[in-house]
Amino acid sequence: MSSGRPPEKKGRTNWLAPDSSPLQHLHYGRIILDPSDQPVRFNNPLIETGLVCLSGKADIEIVGASSFALSLYDALYVPRDSEIVVTSSSEGCDLAEISAPVEQRYPVRFVSFETVRQDPALHFHTGGEAAKRELNILIGKNVEAGRIMAGVTFSQPGNWTSWPPHEHAEMLEEAYLYIDMPAPAFGIQLVYADTESPELISVVREGDCVLMPKGYHPNVAAPGGSIKFLWMMAARREVVDRQFGVVNVQPEFASQPSGLQLAR
């Protein structure tokens, strides 16, 4: 179990990879460009890639295929063995790069955040009293892929998310990147299999990233602020385990629905 604040350096930075983390499949990095920066060009041999725009605007070319313009919370799925060119706009850009190894090659797919918000299976509000939040599934069943899934969750001020506590370790590993939480906003993230000996209890702020290879993982926003995060997952078995909303709720809270069934 680990958490930390990835360096927000200009250019392309890889922060999370299986050879340096407890995760087996999930990779995470950032591409941050100012308007005057040169384009970033890279290949993704053997790994599928998801790009999610966290701020600004970016033009992305898949060489030999298509070009796409991404703005806030738009996403792009890029198949393995592609050449990718990222160019910033006049606003600059900040992209999350999510990837995982796959055997098969799946089609390119652009997902606009506006379209997601119009689909009740991809955009919905859930949670009971003190656990209300908004879920937006960017790369899920709307995208044919092998392992990766991603989306953004926004809590109501002072509320819990990922509640009731649930886990999906046999099928999916996960990481949370906390976004759009300007100071003094913060939250508390827990990760545990046993409430008597939690693996992680941590204050989290914008820019922090927490890994969840296993365990229940609820979090809560400080009063007056919202906890917001990009969640990213990688299925343990390609295609077979790539299922959003299939979770095990902590037995003490099993009488409460997970709130994720709306996406299934």
The Cα 127–Cα 71 span in angstroms is 28
For residues 174-178, give the mean pLDDT: 97
Percent of the chain whose pLDDT exceeds 70? 96
Beta bridge partners of residue 177, listed in sequence order: 209, 230
pLDDT tens per residue across span 120-135: 999 999 998 999 999 9
CA-CA-CA-CA dihedral for 118, 122, 127, 133, to nearest 10: -70
What residue segments make up the domains of the chain, in order of their start? 8-249
Q: Which two tokens stand for residue 134?
A: 């908004």
CB-based burial, 60-95: b 16+ in 10 Å, e otherwise: bbbeeeeebebbebbbbbbbbebebebbbeeebbbb
pLDDT value of position 3: 62
pLDDT tens per residue across span 67-99: 999 999 999 999 999 999 999 988 999 999 999
The CATH architecture annotation of domain 8-249 reads: Sandwich (2.60)
- Are the beta carbons of 19 and 42 closer than 8 angstroms? no
pLDDT value of position 247: 94
pLDDT value of position 9: 82
Beta bridge partners of residue 204, listed in sequence order: 187
Beta bridge partners of residue 189, listed in sequence order: 202, 219
Tell me the average pLDDT of the chain: 94
The Cα 32–Cα 14 span in angstroms is 12
Beta bridge partners of residue 153, listed in sequence order: 135, 229
The Cα 247–Cα 135 span in angstroms is 16
- Which run of H or of E encompasses 114? helix 113-117
The residue whose two tokens read 């509320």 is: 159
The DSSP letter of residue 255 is: T
For residues 207-234, give the mean pLDDT: 96
The predicted model scores a pTM of 0.95
Cα–Cα distances (Å) from 106 to 41, 49, 128, 146, 171, in that order, read 21, 11, 37, 7, 20
Lowest mean pLDDT among 6-20, 51-65, 137-151: 6-20
CA-wise closest residue to 169 among 239, 261, 220, 235: 235
3-state secondary structure of 115: helix
